[in-house]
Amino acid sequence: MLENIVYKGSPKEYFPKFTFQEKELVANGFIPNPEHLLSIEKKSQSFTAENRAVLARVLKDQYSNIKNSNAEDRIELLNSEKTFTVTTGQQIHIFLGPMYVHNKILSVIENAEQLKEQFPNNTFIPIFWMATEDHDMEEIDHINLFGQKVQWEHQHKGISGDCPTKGLVNLMEGLLQGRNGINKDYQHLFKQAYEDYSTLADATRFLVDRIYGDKGVLVIDGNDKRFKKLFEPSIKKDILNQGFNELIDKQSNLLKRYGIKNIISPRKTNFFYINNEGIRDRIDLKDQSYSTLNTLRNWSFSDMKEEIEKHPERFSPNVSLRPLYQETILPNIAYLAGPSEYVYWMQIQKTFEEIPAPILKLRKTYIYLTEKEWNKVSRYPGLENALFLEEHLFLEKLKSLLSGVNPIEVIWKEQQTKLKEDIQKLNTLNVPNLKVLNSISNNYLDKLKKASKDFENQKINKSEIQSRIAVVMKIKELYFSNKNKWERKTYFFEQLLFKNTKGIVNTAHGDVDLINITCG
């Protein structure tokens, strides 16, 4: 239900206050049918052996410079018609980015494991899609460490995957200088990544392989000419015939009628052009003439058609068509999306005309607490179930647990029930002055309720109780507040190096270094 998406901490403005059943979302074409067997059957029919061969060859090349990787066996499995993928994706941040990137990868690992249990005769490979063609470096060229934003100074203007890693080792050493409790193994790992690999894409692939590879994760970079060649029909359909913008527009308008705020806006052309310098520039269409917004390239219709056929690798889909591109080159049956992703995937469902859409799932939110912090919450039975509630509701629950049994509250409830029954009985007997009696009973109940609140406030206001409330509310504010957004503000790098969490990748699978709270 969409209520669950709001509950998981997504931006509430995207969603209506009422909820949908999953069957309603399917019936309206907002999401695909969630039956895994159906998704497997559709992908089996549509994904060819040729596409599998291209996928395996490209991945083998992309992993060729990573020493001691165990990815080769998994890559070979992709040639089998019994193998499918489940995918999540993200821009490539320095130092692997905020904790939600880790949460996405954990979610896709878990989903692949569950599918294997359900369909033991098939293989399911978790995929991390690196959005290496993104050019918004301002979103990824910094790191938050110990509550401070640290900027990486660079001169790169092109797509993020090509960004040189020069300077990242010096940045890291500056961040760690004079700090105690550093996990040296992970420090060495990040140093190796940024010393041995010259681009951000290669360094990120190395890090994800080292940290998650033993859980079966494969990293894919869509920026490859062989992949783009498979996508050529869709590139032409969009740029030459404007074949997708109307589909997205109709779906977006339908979502609006249900009160769901759109994330993306369709365009006549939904592609960027990547020039020889690696600059990614939006393609505009006017009167059958094409141009780029900033680099001032121009094409006629026929010239554009020829450019697509000769150099499909130069065409980069925007957010509207990136999902279709992904599904073109992967035998994918499910996508694990973040909250805003979930909405724009609903917007673009009608673009999947010839290629089946994957099952759409919301990725999980994993919150990591130290055991000491967790004990401060779990000492109050039932409080952990309220951690994702809004602050005032959580505070009410906490106060209720701390104040214990309120004897006046017990009497108030008993009297309320008894007096209601008495008034109803007297009403059947036509007793005179019943209104006066009713007023007296209500006044009595009101005074009892006030006495109950006064008793509770007196108990709660004791310094010892206020101190306990402050301790728990600090944990709530730090980790579980929509205002604080812990998984966005806390970076994976800090968790690995400073929280005694060498086993953090396995935490969701049973390790005890950290307590793992999963929302959803």
122-138 pLDDT tens trace: 999 999 999 999 998 99
Q: Is 159 within 8 Å of 135 (Cβ atoms)?
A: yes
What's the pLDDT tens digit per position in 173-188?
Answer: 999 998 888 889 899 9
Indicate the DSSP class of residue 363. Answer: P
Predicted TM-score of the model (pTM):
0.84
Distance CA 70, CA 177 (A): 34
Distance CA 150, CA 490 (A): 13
Q: In this structure, what is the dihedral angle of CA atoms 391, 396, 400, 403, given to the nearest 10 degrees?
A: 90
Report which of residues 375 and 16 the model is more confident about: 375
Q: Closest Cα to residue 357, out of 370, 375, 344?
A: 344
Q: Is the pLDDT assigned to residue 368 strictly greater than 50?
A: yes
Q: Is 377 within 8 Å of 475 (Cβ atoms)?
A: yes
DSSP β-bridge partners for residue 337: 362
Tokens 């489940």 label which residue?
A: 86
The 10 Å CB-count burial string (b at 16+, else e) for 110-136 is bbbbebeeebeebbbbbbbbbbbbbbe
Q: Please state which of the ranges 4-13, 126-135, 163-172, 364-373 shows the lowest mean pLDDT.
A: 4-13
Q: Taking the CA atoms of the chain, what radius of gyration do you get in angstroms?
A: 28
Average pLDDT, the chain: 86
DSSP β-bridge partners for residue 91: 131
Indicate the DSSP class of residue 491. Answer: B
What's the pLDDT tens digit per position in 475-497?
Answer: 998 888 877 788 888 898 988 88
Q: Closest Cα to residue 335, out of 364, 365, 359?
A: 359
Q: Give the pLDDT confidence score for residue 313 in this predicted structure.
A: 97
Report which of residues 228 and 414 the model is more confident about: 228
Distance CA 305, CA 311 (A): 10
Q: Give the pLDDT confidence score for residue 416 in this predicted structure.
A: 86
113-125 mean pLDDT: 97
Q: Give the pLDDT confidence score for residue 444 in this predicted structure.
A: 83
Question: Percent of the chain at pLDDT above 70?
Answer: 90
Amino acid at 10: S
Distance CA 181, CA 370 (A): 15
Distance CA 388, CA 482 (A): 9
- 70 class by beta-carbon count within 10 Å (0-12 exposed, 13-18 middle, 19+ buried): exposed
DSSP output for 288-315 = TEEEETTT--EE-HHHHHHHHHH-GGGE
pLDDT band for position 340 (cuts 50, 70, 90) = confident
Q: Give the pLDDT confidence score for residue 59 in this predicted structure.
A: 98
Q: Please state which of the ranges 201-205, 277-281, 378-382, 428-432 shows the lowest mean pLDDT.
A: 428-432
Q: Give the pLDDT confidence score for residue 18 in this predicted structure.
A: 38
9-13 mean pLDDT: 35
pLDDT band for position 68 (cuts 50, 70, 90) = confident
Q: Is the pLDDT assigned to residue 500 strictly greater than 60?
A: no
Distance CA 356, CA 331 (A): 10
Q: Give the pLDDT confidence score for residue 2 in this predicted structure.
A: 28
Distance CA 212, CA 102 (A): 10
Token output for 286:
């006017």
Q: Give the pLDDT confidence score for residue 499 in this predicted structure.
A: 65
